[in-house]
Structure 1
């Protein structure tokens, strides 16, 4: 439950490392027990607990990876809904031509914009273009060339 609580905030903002460490600490304290006065034995590492359930482990999430994935999902959603209010506002502020996949980080960008660009890094590494009708092809910029 504690890992599901920050999901909405993670889809819009990058959580600070200190908060991520605190949430991981709370999860491990709950899982292994103990309190401020008494600590119990940790039978396995936190890294082992984060492995996926298919491998027979508990499948706790790494919140930093989940945070970046949710921000990447927001970028993808913005690129696929060009007439949404959020897309129109961001387009007018940060990229006049093209879409969010063509946008770059701005030094005077808002907190939200910098975090979306951080999440967009995954899209930059993996998104490929289709030729389609050929009207939107830029041979100098597109990754499929």
Structure 2
């Protein structure tokens, strides 16, 4: 940026330059590594200074906070990106791919190293993890804000541990009393002959508030693997 001059560019021209080049340059790195906050702040500072200055490298007047500039256009912003948040979003997409394609080569390698007896969304403390895995793991909280377990067979979904109750923020089921069977799976609540929810078991184990949400879920008649879906889009 130090070698560029934008004296003759309009604001619209600067915007295109920013979105097409400046904010796209670090995308490949940010989709693999979690950048330290200091680097994200330095990048945002450099871009903001370049945006507000009419004659770089001279400093211009910052007429609005960077957070305001990064808002969507309909909210009064210019749709620039918050560097750290965009970094987490890209890493969350990598974690989403690990969840959606459990038989891929990269998943088998990572599973053998980091979560052989668990899942990529439910990992205990790891000794000496690689920086790539540490980066992807940093996006787990973000992904869990919108991900929900899709019930097909119910064999792989744990009733009291996995987010499968279909609410705005998916969560695990709530028990009526102290949990007697901590590893109970969703398949245990399904009548295997009729392939419908066993209402008696639901009323016996699950909080009445959750029962209508559970009964609204369609059960697959096939024995497909349970998958995940994204709660904030219609197609998941």
When normalised by structure 1's length, the TM-score is 0.88
> Which of the numbers 1, 7, 12 marks the counterpart of 2:32?
12
Q: Give the greater-gyration-radius structure (CA).
A: 2
Offset at 1:105?
Answer: 4.0
Check if 1:93 corresponds to 2:128.
Answer: no
Name structure 1 gaps, 5 residues minimum: none
| Cα separation, 2, equivalents of 1:105 and 1:116 | 14
Q: Give, in angstroms, the shift of residue 124 of structure 1.
A: 2.5
Cα separation, 2, equivalents of 1:55 and 1:43: 17
SS in 2 for 1:129: strand
Contact 1:105 1:114 in 2 (8 A): no
Structure number with the higher strand fraction is 2
Counterpart contact for 2:67–2:82, Cα < 8 Å: no
Contact 2:48 2:66 in 1 (8 A): yes
How many residues in Structure 1 have an aligned counterpart in Structure 2?
144
1:115 matched to 2:125:
no
| TM-score for both structures, normalised by structure 2 | 0.56
**Are 2:98 and 1:78 aligned?**
yes
Q: Matched residues in 1 for 2:101 and 2:152: separation?
A: 18
Structure 1 segment 1-145 matched on structure 2, within 5 A = 1-33=21-53, 34-35=55-56, 38-144=58-164, 145=173
